[in-house]
Amino acid sequence: MFTNSKTAYNKAKKIIPGGVNSPVRAFRSVNSTPVFFESGNGSKMFDIDGNKYIDCVGSWGPLIFGHADKETVDSIISSSKLGTTFGAPTEIESTMASKIIEMVPSIEKVRMVSSGTEATMSAIRLARGYTKKDLIIKFSGNYHGHFDSFLIKAGSGAMTLGKPDSQGVTENIAKDTLVAEFNDIESVKTLFNKNQNKIAAVIIEPIAGNMGLVIPKNGFLKELKSICKENNSLLIFDEVMSGFRVSRGGAQELYNVIPDITTLGKIIGGGLPAGAYGGSTEIMDHVAPDGPVYQAGTLSGNPLAMSAGLSVLTRLNDDIYKKLENISARIHDGISSNIKETGVNANIARVGSMMTLFFSKKDCIENFNDAKNCDTNLYAKYFKSMLEMGVYLPPSQYECLFLSSKIDEDDINKIIDSNLNSLKKII
């Protein structure tokens, strides 16, 4: 079934570290070898062995309109005919900036970068420069990219490989990052009390998506905002995943909590590499060339990525979010019914079109420790069963499903039926 993929992987391992360009793709968390893909269309992906899958990952979020979306592809082609990069200003960068400012409540000015990691590392540098303080607080299990300051009790691939503290991160860098527990406001207060007037910012995934989907408790984000304000520290929302995904204005619109700085990625590139960070005019005017906080990038605001992203953002309206909610709710309800029917120890978390099935005896996953105690061996069996049935899921218990608006009635039924058969098979 995967003969060509295995051959391609063995070849790749000789010339690429681990055979992949991002660790979770190696499928080690599910005790398997990766599938190599050839093409995608709408809700479907096709591998190099000719197998077809319903895609429930969507390239980890950006493909809200599915694979090979005509409007997105047309925008990339049209833009490429004018030139692929200039290393100089283009008007489409300003058009994209205006669109982001229109949609995201916290942003008055925005700077484009080329990835989510660039966005978050730039955001904390800006926070330190603006507040003239050194320390940051992050949360266990939150992943903000592979920048040194964030690889401390991180989620995503670091969690998958069992190495949340990466080698190569120096002690001097690590000591400037304090770690709180997600959904535990007292752990945040304790850190502020122990480090008075030293904390520049708190950075958080307002909807945690890198230890599986973990939902913020009611009031948690608002309390976090209040604590930051009381201590003259900035609140940074990492909305690389949740931005434009859970609503037009992201998690901050959904929960009515306005951060000081927001980082974005995934959807704003329409499937091409892009990221951004933004906030109030006062804060953003500290970025060079207007201010003393330096950040630069040759391909920042790349015209192809801006064109692709704009083709997506301009179509995000109430109808699209209603459609995504309908698709996601039906899949959620179907899987919940299957869990009850089979009696398997599992629960499902969802916000909009982001979703995770956890194999756990707990009714709800609330933090990093809960996530770490999930049955990853059972998830591995479940993943492989679903893959064989033609449903492509995240190759790790610690990642989210991202559903597209192209998932149709037949897809929904197949996902639910395959889930039931897989649960029966593994218990």
Q: Residue 159 and residue 152: Cα distance in Å, rounded?
A: 10
Give, rounded to a whole angstrom, the gap between the first and last alpha carbons of the chain. 24
Radius of gyration of the chain (CA): 21
Catalytic residue chosen out of the listed positions 47, 55, 69, 238: 238
Cβ-based neighbour number of residue 21 at 10 Å:
9
Whether 381 is catalytic is no
For residue 367 the two structure tokens come to 């933090």
Q: Count of H helices and E strands in the chain?
A: 15, 14
Handedness of CA 192, 195, 201, 203 (dihedral sign): negative
Catalytic residue chosen out of the listed positions 143, 277, 321, 382: 143
Whether 238 is catalytic is yes
Look at residues 330, 337, 350, 355 and name the one whose alpha carbon lies nearest to residue 423.
Answer: 337
Please say whether the beta carbons of 262 and 237 come within 8 A: yes
Residue owning tokens 């690590």: 174
Catalytic residue chosen out of the listed positions 266, 321, 370, 382: 266
How far, in Å, are 145, 320, 339 from residue 199 at the CA level? 20, 40, 44
Read off the amino acid at residue 265: G
Q: What is the dihedral of CA 41, 276, 75, 399, to 10 degrees?
A: 0
Q: Residue 10 and residue 164: Cα distance in Å, rounded?
A: 27
How far, in Å, are 138, 205, 235, 325, 399 from residue 352 at the CA level? 24, 15, 23, 6, 15
Q: Residue 381 and residue 387: Cα distance in Å, rounded?
A: 10
* DSSP sequence for 215-253: PPPTTHHHHHHHHHHHTT-EEEEE-TTTTTTSSTTHHHH
- DSSP assigned state of 204: E
* DSSP sequence for 85-129: --SS--HHHHHHHHHHHHH-TT-SEEEEESSHHHHHHHHHHHHHH
Whether 143 is catalytic is yes
Q: Residue 361 and residue 30: Cα distance in Å, rounded?
A: 20
Beta pairing class for 109-113 and 261-264 = unpaired
Look at residues 312, 313, 305, 311 and name the one whose alpha carbon lies nearest to residue 84.
Answer: 305
Q: Looking at the annotation, which residues are catalytic?
A: 143, 238, 266
